[in-house]
Structure 1
């Protein structure tokens, strides 16, 4: 039988990215956690961690991580059915930056009224979240890919819409009366990080019929700061329409191409062995997204 105490330690050091932080979370010494994981590796016959910064799971480790995630769900189901004391086990969810910056706080608020389960959110691009679910690092995720993983289910949530925005000061300084794709793309723009490249180039191709161009872009990996940079006139930015309603209404931001909008479909993915808590969380996600997203 697997050493589940060691598996728990393994999951925590991966969650926090190091032996030191994992040990702190477990209230154990770093040496004790290291010994537990060494015994686990002896038991399963191979390394479970790539010892780098941050720590990563080996292929064998990813299988173990997926297994311990499923066991946690089954334990919660058993606890609920047996009538034992409420066990508010954590729910792990992968969500992208733009959703976190717009409507996911409403999900958290609504769910917290129903249950006391802590929710551990992993922040990743919508093109990467599904991979975290496949690896067993999370129990559910929001992704732009609709195909469910093996042993999982998915449901369409709606479409997140994006437009290109700039401040009046930016328009006066850089564009004046020439708001054309060629002119705009020659002026300073914004990228969140390397994963944001796909979103911007999709907008350039599909909405502006313009070849991918990123050479004038700053990189600024902060959802709140991203919008603020646009408001302050540093650069134009491709932003969710949901995020900047107030700024547009007050005249702080102007849509450069109001008729050009990129729609990104979003899907909710979850494991089939879902706990009651995850089932409730999924219902809240579907309900709030129906209110906030376009069909």
Structure 2
């Protein structure tokens, strides 16, 4: 395979379109199309879905993952050869609650490395593994302990979520209380309901969707509905009485770090930083 063509494939996937990839690579869109057609001809596979944004097919994902591995190794080699190295891409999948709390020190430590580029992708802890499997990220905070092929997994700790609400809501029946969901999937809240012997469809109270952590916690605080909030995010609000725990209902979420099994000094450092930051978990 032609490495230039593979690099072009990676650029299209990262930028989401042929046109933007062409601008980034400094070539014409027609040249980008020609490279991809030649690569698809060589491999005998369709590599891209011409959607908006452009997405790789299953065969394309294999080449994209390979290209990212090569890019990391090349960047590290360049870092050793050239002190003026511009960036070493460290792409990470992380769930929003972790990013909003214990994960934040990782950002400062990566900044201290000098020359490293950190790219964070935010998804539910049940979805970050898909990014790793597709090769979109080098490492991921996930709730899955079984390693993805080509990766290794290590335990980070447990995030404890409590069902919380404003004091004015806590005496209502579960089925009648309004609720706040982070997303329509919201695996933490749905798991909590199942633990109570309930399903989301049985809840007669209104459902609110607030897909941002600060706004989500504020929505629960002001009484828009009850929600699942990590203990480490709500300590001050519990102490002040602005939030109360509902019937001591909680969910313990085991978190794991999965990363590519790759001999990489930068990836080793990132793993070290993630584990140091996760020390405050249970």
TM-score, normalised with respect to structure 2: 0.89
What corresponds to 2:228 in structure 1? 238
What corresponds to 1:188 in structure 2? 178
Deviations 1:250-280 (A, max 9, x none): 33222223x3321000000011114211110
Change over 3 Å in CA distance of 1:79–1:116 after alignment to 2: closer
Deviation at 1:30, TM superposition (A): 3.8
**Residue 263 of structure 1: which of 241, 244, 252 is its match?**
252
Given that 1:115 and 1:277 are in contact with CA atoms closer than 8 Å, whether structure 2 keeps it comes out as no
Deviations 1:159-210 (A, max 9, x none): 0110111123x42xxx5xx35xxx13322101112331x322221233xx33
Question: 3-state SS of the aligned residue for 1:243?
Answer: helix
**Residue 212 of structure 1: which of 199, 221, 224 is its match?**
199
What corresponds to 1:226 in structure 2? 216
Backbone CA RMSD of aligned residues: 2.1
What corresponds to 2:4 in structure 1? 5
Change over 3 Å in CA distance of 1:57–1:98 after alignment to 2: same
TM-score, normalised with respect to structure 1: 0.86
Given that 2:96 and 2:213 are in contact with CA atoms closer than 8 Å, whether structure 1 keeps it comes out as yes
Q: Within 5 Å, which residues of 2 pair with 1:1-295?
A: 2-26=1-25, 28-79=27-78, 83-85=81-83, 87=85, 88-168=87-167, 170-171=168-169, 175=170, 178-179=171-172, 183-196=173-186, 198-206=187-195, 209-214=196-201, 215=203, 216-257=206-247, 259-290=248-279, 292-294=280-282
Deviations 1:85-117 (A, max 9, x none): 353311111111111121222111122123331
Count of matched residue positions in the alignment of Structure 1 and Structure 2: 278
Given that 2:161 and 2:228 are in contact with CA atoms closer than 8 Å, whether structure 1 keeps it comes out as yes
Deviation at 1:83, TM superposition (A): 4.1
| Structure 1 segments unaligned to the other structure (5+ residues) | none
Given that 2:76 and 2:88 are in contact with CA atoms closer than 8 Å, whether structure 1 keeps it comes out as no
Structure richer in strand, relative to its length? 2
| Alpha-carbon separation, structure 1, partners of 2:135 and 2:44 | 20
| Alpha-carbon separation, structure 1, partners of 2:108 and 2:258 | 20
Change over 3 Å in CA distance of 1:83–1:25 after alignment to 2: closer
Given that 1:189 and 1:217 are in contact with CA atoms closer than 8 Å, whether structure 2 keeps it comes out as yes
Deviation at 1:236, TM superposition (A): 1.0
| Alpha-carbon separation, structure 1, partners of 2:149 and 2:157 | 22
